Amino acid sequence: MKKHHKMYRTHNCGELTMQHTGKEVMLSGWVQKSRDLGGMTFVDLRDRYGITQLVFNMETHADLCNRARKLGREFVIRVTGRVSERSNKNPQMPTGDIEIMAETLEILNQSRVPPFTIEQHTDGGEDLRMKYRYLDLRRTVVRKNLELRHRMALETRKYMSGEGFIEVETPVLIKSTPEGARDFIVPSRMNPGEFYALPQSPQTFKQLLMVAGLDKYFQIVKCFRDEDLRADRQPEFTQIDCEMSFVERDDLLDTFEGLARHLFRTIKGIEVEKGFPRLAYSEALERYGTDKPDLRFEMKISPMTGLVKGKGFQVFDSVDYIGGICVPGCSEYSRKQLDELTDFVRRQQIGMKGMVYLKYNTDGSLKSSVDKFFDGPGLRQWTALFDARPGDLILVLAGDRELTLKALGELRIEMGKRLGLRDNNVFKPLWVVDFPLLEWDEETGRYYAMHHPFTSPYEEDIELFRTDPGKVRAKAYDLVINGVEIGGGSIRIHDESLQQLMFDNLGFTEEEARQQFGFLLNAFRYGAPPHGGIAFGFDRWVALFAGIESIRDVIAFPKNNAGRDVMIDTPSAVSEAQLEELFLKLNLPSKE
Ligand code: ASP
């Protein structure tokens, strides 16, 4: 061992197995926990690679053992000892067959008692763990997510390079971008009164790179959007941002289906079939009540308006849409379970007034909540419509078309959850295509670009700009996996007059368009190639592969729901001097 005198370790804490028994080794790491059994003291030594059990023997090494007894949680130590076979093996651990009979022990650093236990199941609440995120990151569960993230980034780069894409960095201090969220802005000291914006995406730059002839670009890149936060949103997040020239929609979908399949193969060991299903936006809404359908299970929505309206049931007769889903094997749902579902659809975000059900009992009889209004043959038409089988339960909602479809979509997901049909180990990717180009906003009384203003409409729909702009379809697409939107993009407009038509419909004056995107419009006058692209939400994709809901768990240092980093305590005030240098004065509302 002498020759290793200057070293900290001969092995890491995750690699020693039966084949090493008898070997003299040196390990360094953190004390995860220790158990003092009198004659023996056991210490679990942890590093990034795993946990190895150390044994300190009172009989043979009394001094050493006495010192080991005093080790606190998270002390950093170095030990030498001999690898030996355990009598009490732990098959759950890669190193569970062996232990180290310690011969020397050095404390490299002490630790205060950590504010929560650093183990698989911690007693630390979210706030505490975020405040001490560097300790939270010592936990295997959290670290595993970062390792997964690293591997996904690496495989993305491999695939993209293999396809001829080059990674180009684009600036972070830029001008407002067109993604439709609020910008984060940065005051410029050298240009008093002027501000940079942080990129909501590299959208304009990647299009400029196409004008520049780069042909195939990608970048794993931070983007910034000042939006209200939910569990699956962060003010700064990462995209796999991509753009390519001389392509039409299907070339793009093929290329990026390739990326998805590559990640499934290399990361999850899953062969996903070529030719992901493609679903038009309108159909996604009609059959799944959402533009992010979860295809792991069927239970599609069927419209019933024609079948049940005008039959004397006031609730149905007074609305413009009635639709339902057929839930397999739930005809025996109790009163209480049905009430729960009614409460579910009545909840504020969903906002339905009530729910109608039809039980197709296993004995073939029918029982519904509207028996007073529909006779046997009437109800048989419902079961025929859904192709229902004895044992099924048909759930029906009625109301405004858009809202009701949305509610049916949520009910479908809820039933999928209840029936265990949303298995995290099953993956069903699809492309949602043909989004509307424009979206009407009631509040401001104008159209907005549903994707962004550089998205190309279908040529055959351009006429509709004059008659029914809301009907114009875009060459836009989303990659959706298991009900999660993983990415989205579009074929871009590369023709100046079409771009102008788009700006007109969005209510931009020529002046405004020039002011905001003049650099891009100018560039387009110098031979812009036909081009298109896509961006994937990298955090979300990692979370999906990790089988977790919140993207926070796949980000090393995330912000909380209020957009704060509680560890470094930011955002925070700046000094008077800093403000002066920038010629800024605060004008805060007085506290009530
Ligand atoms: N820039 C777009 C986004 O961030 C993606 C794209 O159109 O490529 O959603």
Query: pLDDT, tens digit, for every residue of 471-505?
Result: 999 999 999 999 999 999 999 999 888 998 898 88
Cα–Cα distances in angstroms (integers) from residue 158 to residues 111, 539, 569, in the given order: 41, 18, 37
Q: How many helices (H) and strands (E) does the chain have?
A: 17, 22
pLDDT at residue 5 tops 80:
no
Q: Which residues have CB under 8 Å from 474's CB, separation 6+?
A: 434, 435, 436, 437, 450, 451, 455, 456, 457, 458, 490
> Ligand 1 centroid vs 489 CA: distance in angstroms?
5
Q: Is the pLDDT of residue 592 over 70?
A: no
Residue bearing the CA closest to ligand 1, atom 7: 489
Q: What is the pLDDT of residues 242-300, one digit of tens each?
A: 999 999 999 999 999 999 999 999 999 999 999 999 999 999 999 999 999 999 999 99
Number of C-beta neighbours around residue 169 at 10 A: 9
* CB of residue 203 inside a 6 A radius of ligand 1: yes
With a CB cutoff of 8 Å and minimum separation 6, the contacts of 154 are: none
Give the distance (Å) from ligand 1 centre to CA of residue 203: 6
Q: What is the pLDDT of residues 161-211, one digit of tens each?
A: 999 999 999 999 999 877 888 999 999 999 999 999 999 999 999 999 999
Give the DSSP letter string of 218-263. EEEEEEE------TT--SEEEEEEEEEES--HHHHHHHHHHHHHHH
Which among 259, 208, 142, 173 has a CA at the least distance from the CA of 538?
259
Whether ligand 1 lies within 6 angstroms of the CB of 179 is answered as yes
Atom of ligand 1 lying closest to residue 243 CA: 8
Name the H helices within 387-526.
401-418, 464-467, 496-505, 510-523
Domains of the chain, earliest start first: 18-109 (2.40.50.140), 144-278+430-435+474-494+529-554 (3.30.930.10), 297-422 (3.30.1360.30)
Quick count: other Cβ atoms within 10 Å of Cβ 512?
Answer: 12
Contacts of 136 (CB under 8 A, 6+ apart): 116, 118, 122, 124, 129, 130, 142
Residue of minimum CA distance from atom 8 in ligand 1: 534
DSSP for 370-416, written as a single string: TTTT--HHHHHHHHHHHT--TT-EEEEEEESHHHHHHHHHHHHHHHH
d(CA 55, CA 361): 64
Ligand 1 center–CA 129 separation, angstroms: 33
Pocket probe for ligand 1: among 201, 221, 236, the residue whose CB has the most ligand atoms within 8 Å is 201
Separation between Cα atoms, residue 120 and residue 137, nearest integer Å: 11
Task: Report whether pLDDT(4) > 50.
Answer: no
What are the tokens at 274? 């070529």
Is the pLDDT confidence value at 104 over 60? yes
* Token pair of 245 as six digits: 């020239």
**Ligand 1 atom, smallest distance to 242 CA:** 8
Query: What tokens does 559 get?
Result: 């912000």
Q: Which atom of ligand 1 is nearest to the CA of 202?
A: 1
| Closest-CA residue to 207 (of 519, 552, 563) | 519
Atom 1 in ligand 1: residue holding the nearest Cα: 203
User: Is the Cβ atom of 469 under 6 angstroms away from ligand 1?
Assistant: no
The count of other CB atoms within 10 Å of the CB of residue 553 is: 17
Question: Cβ(201) to ligand 1 under 6 A?
Answer: yes
